[in-house]
Amino acid sequence: MKITNAYVNICSPGRNFVTLKIETDQGIYGLGDGTLNGRELAVASYLTDHVLPCLIGRDPFQIEDIWQYLYRGAYWRRGPVTMSAIAAVDMALWDIKGKALHTPVYNLLGGRSRQGVMVYCHAFGKDIHAALEDVAKHKEMGYRAIRVQSGVPGLKSTYGVGKTTGYYEPAERGLPTEYEWETESYLRSVPGLFAKVREVFGEEIHLLHDCHHRLTPIEAARLGKELEPFHLFWIEDPTPAELQEGFKLIRQHTTTPIAVGEVFNSLWDAHDLIRNQWIDYIRATVVHAGGLTHLKKIADFADLYHVKTGCHGATDLSPVSMAAALHFDTAIHNFGIQEHMPHAAETDAVFPHAYFFKDGYMYPGDKPGLGIDFDEKLASQYEYQRAYLPVNRRQDGTLTDW
Ligand code: CS2
Ligand code: MG
């Protein structure tokens, strides 16, 4: 089999997505996601201008060799743009191989290790009362694990709390908006939120919380310690992770489990975190961490150190990534949990898929390949629109992590 054609589509059915299609001489095609929120066009150009011409004529079954060709062969390694572009190619090649061999991709990754993939959803509210209502709603929908975020008294906006109820999309069209932040107000409010959630909903439900890289290690240690009585499944991204050693300090102070990695793009971003057992869950994801080929290596390395996976699954990861993540989650041994933020109806219509949600679990479906398609005609009705993630400032004006 040979690759005969490959092209990128950029569309915006509800939000922007970068989709790669690779075609072969046998009529089989594969799909990949290359969406990098707020920097979409950079990945599209990396693919179109630099990667795709090198693929024509290659054997799509040589997934490892093509991965190494794009990684080592570029000389310039790693980084979110490069690794998202490699991921898009990698996903499409696994899709092709599955279709050619008439089997779902999870069978190529080792086969089923579990029946269903436990997912967590997002509940939020402008205050504790509204957050509790949203938790009740999601529990009713069947979720067994719920991430809870609420507005912080004294702050006009905060991460994870949508402007309207029911749907939350962090990127906004146009140039970046500005949020405000004050750590002390946040640290004072979060323990009260979880005390209330446990009081109302009991111990059965798994609870998660995302700090979105906003704390220093000692502040995160304080938060983790104060949340211990409420037995969280994890606190996520407690502190920015460029300094991996920062997590050592958090670890010394708290038994609240720690998850990190949605912005990581290779194993090397998590090498110290994993081998020192400073974290419990690695959140690297298919699209931003070099595709299934590299994510499998990260998971296998993590498995040696009792670290489980918890793949990022926000709406900026297209349904192609969601499908790939669910095949991966079904196959690997050290799966922990999968994030699930349902896409908008327009998005789902453009990407018909075999995966589905039932009673707190998701399933990749049994179609050959990734079980995902792309309606290019429908996609052409949704042109790309410039959009950015917000930026964040402290109340005195200092720019800080969003
Ligand atoms: C987040 C994301 O889902 C999460 O845990 O942290 O909402 C994140 O902010 C976006 O994916 C950024 O593109
Ligand atoms: Mg997060």
> Any idea what the CATH number is for the domain that residue 294 is in?
3.20.20.120
384 in active site = no
Ligand 1 atom index nearest CA of 212? 6
Residue ranges making up the domain that contains 297: 108-367
% of the chain with per-residue pLDDT over 90: 97
Mean pLDDT value of segment 237-263: 98
* Within a domain: 70: yes
Residue 165 predicted with pLDDT over 70: no
Q: Whose CA is nearest to atom 9 of ligand 1?
A: 170
* Residue 263 in contact with ligand 1 by CB distance below 6 A: no
Q: Whose CA is nearest to atom 11 of ligand 1?
A: 314
Cβ neighbours for 387, distance < 8 A, ≥ 6 positions apart? 15, 16, 38, 171, 172, 173, 174
Contact 15, 346 (CB under 8 A): no
Ligand 1 mutation pick, 124, 158, 167, 210, max ligand atoms within 8 A of CB: 210
pLDDT in tens, 45-78: 999 999 999 999 999 999 999 999 999 999 999 9
Cβ neighbours for 15, distance < 8 A, ≥ 6 positions apart? 169, 171, 315, 316, 344, 347, 387
Enclosing H/E stretch for 388: strand 387-388
Ligand 1 atom index nearest CA of 38? 13
Spacing, Cα 223 to ligand 1 middle (Å): 20
For the chain, counts of helices (H) and of strands (E):
14, 18
Tell me the three state secondary structure of residue 401.
coil
Pair of tokens at residue 400: 């800080």
Say yes or no: 63 and 132 in one domain. no
Tell me if the pTM is above 0.95: yes
* Within a domain: 392: no
CA gap 157, 165 in Å, rounded: 14
Ligand 1 mutation pick, 146, 316, 391, max ligand atoms within 8 A of CB: 316
- Identity of the amino acid at 108: L
Say yes or no: 230 and 257 in one domain. yes
Tell me the three state secondary structure of residue 200.
helix
* Within a domain: 380: no
CA gap 249, 245 in Å, rounded: 8
> Any idea what the CATH number is for the domain that residue 53 is in?
3.30.390.10
Contact 198, 163 (CB under 8 A): no
Pair of tokens at residue 374: 């792309």
Ligand 1 atom index nearest CA of 171? 13
Q: Whose CA is nearest to atom 3 of ligand 1?
A: 314
Counted domains in the chain = 2
pLDDT in tens, 321-334: 999 999 999 999 99
Spacing, Cα 238 to ligand 1 middle (Å): 13
159 in active site = yes
Q: Which of 87, 106, 85, 88 is nearest to 97 (CA)?
A: 106
- Identity of the amino acid at 57: G
Q: Which of 266, 270, 327, 262 is nearest to 37 (CA)?
A: 262
Residue 106 predicted with pLDDT over 90: yes
